[in-house]
Amino acid sequence: MEAKPTRTRRAVVVLITAALVIVVVGVYLQATATGATGSLSSEVSSLKSQVTSLEQANSNLQSLLSSEAGPSSNSSSSSAGGLYAKYSVSVVTIQSYELITQNTFFGQLNSIESVQGSGFVIAYQNSPYVITNNHVVSGTSNITVTFSDGNSYPASVKGTDQYRDLAVLAVSAPASEFHPLNVLASGSALTVGETVFAIGSPFGLAGSVTAGLVSQVGRTITESTNTQITIPDVIQFSAAINPGNSGGPLLDSNGNVVGITTATASNSEGLGFAIPAGTLSRELPSLVSNGGYSLHPDLGLDSTADMTYQLARVTGSNVTYGVLVESVVTGGPADKAGIQGGTKTVTVEGQNYLVGGDIIISINGVKVVDSDGLASYLEENTTAGQTVQLGIISSGTYTSESVVLGAY
């Protein structure tokens, strides 16, 4: 349907050109037949004026056709290429070695496996550092960092946070190797649908770039580690990343770091996740100075479930959103504030729930839709030791409870 106006205008251009030819031929034949040279001069002058008008109309139509064609199909590629050309020099490949112990029929068998990931250069207090994921360097030794020019140097861990999968490395390299990226202090400006770019070393292929969209923000993921660590307030994006991309930068269209790529969803065909740049900015001083970060806010909720329409019907609740408290940590912040967990088990669509406990529907006056929203609010807006106000539905009645946040 959209192609019809374009074909129509092209037809008009052809007709204009044909008319121009007919006019020229007609005037020439008329002048030849009559021999009226004086009138021929007048006709030629008139013809020139018509030609000028026809050429202008032709030019206008060609401009219109060109604008309707839209931007070049490789415009996104040009954008990705421009970002890569300018900022890939700041992205590094990280390699380390991990000791693997296996129990076999013949006893314990030790082997050494290579671990590879990505990272990027930042500047903090006039010193250069490399940022990566904690899982890239955790439990490893002999860490090396390879810059885009191929030069490799030894590195040491300056600070880590396993709960947000962050690590800061100090690299023994000359100053000329470091080209810091700008890290946004807050990810609040990141919008769903925004184009982002991931640069890293998937499968060891250094200097690879992919582009995609921010699919959603404020996600909560669980990393596949022995401790099953849950990470809140994560960016979900569609740029293809693979093993080896971990720790690389996620850039916006201006080349700013908006996230640190950390994981992919199993069998997702391109769904990736990144730790927000705001988390890194908030933790960086402690990671560099103290070697870690232990001020994550904690409500002390042991088990929760997102409220749904079906769950509300079964429990007789009048709200279909919020966070159902199934159990609390004994002696934790929520327990001390008197927040109650569930008392009986029900099954909804094949899933067991411990119901009868309080339902959190707001925090500091902000509506809580689900567990992701609650975790993201805590991550972005609170600190350990802070007092927050929780809006709660308890036994069908609304109440407000003050909770002093713990830390981990």
Q: What is the pLDDT of residues 181-229, one digit of tens each?
A: 999 876 557 889 999 999 998 887 888 999 999 999 999 998 765 567 8
Distance CA 131, CA 120 (A): 5
Contact in structure between 354 and 340 (CB atoms under 8 Å): no
CA quadruple 296, 302, 308, 312: dihedral positive or negative? Answer: negative
For the 297-407 domain, the top CATH level (class) is: mainly beta
Out of 90, 96, 135, 233, pick the active-site residue: 135
Contacts with 295 (C-beta within 8 Å, 6 or more apart), sequence order: 286, 383, 384, 407
**What are 163-185's pLDDT values in tens digits?**
999 999 999 999 999 999 999 87
- For the cut 90, the answer to whether the pLDDT of residue 29 exceeds it is no
The CATH H-level superfamily of 90-177 is: Trypsin-like serine proteases (2.40.10.10)
Tell me the CATH architecture of domain 195-290.
Beta Barrel (2.40)
Whether 327 is catalytic: no
Helix/strand/coil for 376: helix
Contact yes or no for 169/156 (Cβ under 8 A): yes
Average pLDDT, the chain: 83
Whether 165 sits among the annotated catalytic residues: the reply is: yes
pLDDT (tens digit, 9 = 90+) per residue, 78-105? 488 899 999 999 999 999 987 677 777 6
Q: What percent of the chain has pLDDT over 70?
A: 76
- Contact present, 277 and 183 (Cβ < 8 Å): yes
Dist CA 55 CA 264 (whole Å)? 57
Would residue 188 show up in a list of annotated catalytic residues for this protein? no
DSSP code string of 69-125: T-S-TTHHHHHHHHHHHHHGGGEEEEEEEEEEEEEETTEEEEEEEEEEEEEEEEEET
Amino acid occupying residue 61: L
Most confident of 14-28, 75-89, 316-330: 316-330
Catalytic residue among 246, 252, 296, 371: 246
d(CA 63, CA 101): 69
User: Can you tell me the distance from the alpha carbon of 348 to that of 247, in angstroms, rounded to the nearest whole number?
Assistant: 39
Burial of 141 (0-12, 13-18, 19+ CB in 10 A): exposed
pLDDT at residue 7 in the model:
44
The structure's pTM equals: 0.76
Active-site annotation holder among 161, 165, 335, 372: 165
